[in-house]
């Protein structure tokens, strides 16, 4: 999970590097195409981080759902609900 946070953090840094009015690039002259590319790369890194986090959480949810299903099946085997007496 921490790698997704790193993706988002680097994405924010790239966007700050690409924007004109930040302390990060105060003494450096950067051409406009480099700024545009830095902002695009930053946005892609943020998107990759958030999408990776989404995929990871979905896998955890699916695994948890399967675990609950197994627990229900075990409970049904222990106590059958169909008692025809």
Instruction: For residues 63 and 5, give the distance between their C-alpha atoms in angstroms, rounded to a whole number.
Output: 22
- Identify the pLDDT of residue 9: 86
Banded pLDDT at 1 (limits 50, 70, 90): low
Measure CA 24 to chain center.
26
- 44 lies in a domain? yes
- 60 lies in a domain? yes
- Identify the pLDDT of residue 7: 83
What predicted TM-score, i.e. pTM, was given to this entire model?
A: 0.62
CA distances 4 to 15, 18, 37, 39, Å, are: 17, 21, 21, 18
Domain range for residue 63?
Answer: 2-78
Q: How many domains does the chain have?
A: 1
The tokens for 58 are 């979905």
- 83 lies in a domain? no
Instruction: For residues 34 and 6, give the distance between their C-alpha atoms in angstroms, rounded to a whole number.
Output: 22
């Amino acid at each position: 999970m921490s790698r997704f946070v790193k993706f988002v953090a680097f994405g924010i840094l790239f966007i700050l590097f690409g924007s004109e009015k930040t302390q990060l690039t105060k003494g450096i002259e950067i051409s406009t195409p480099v700024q545009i590319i830095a902002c695009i790369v930053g946005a892609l890194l943020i998107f990759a981080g958030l999408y990776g986090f989404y995929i990871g959480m979905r896998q955890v949810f699916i695994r948890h759902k399967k675990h609950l299903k197994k627990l229900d099946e075990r409970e049904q085997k222990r106590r059958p609900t169909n008692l025809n007496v």
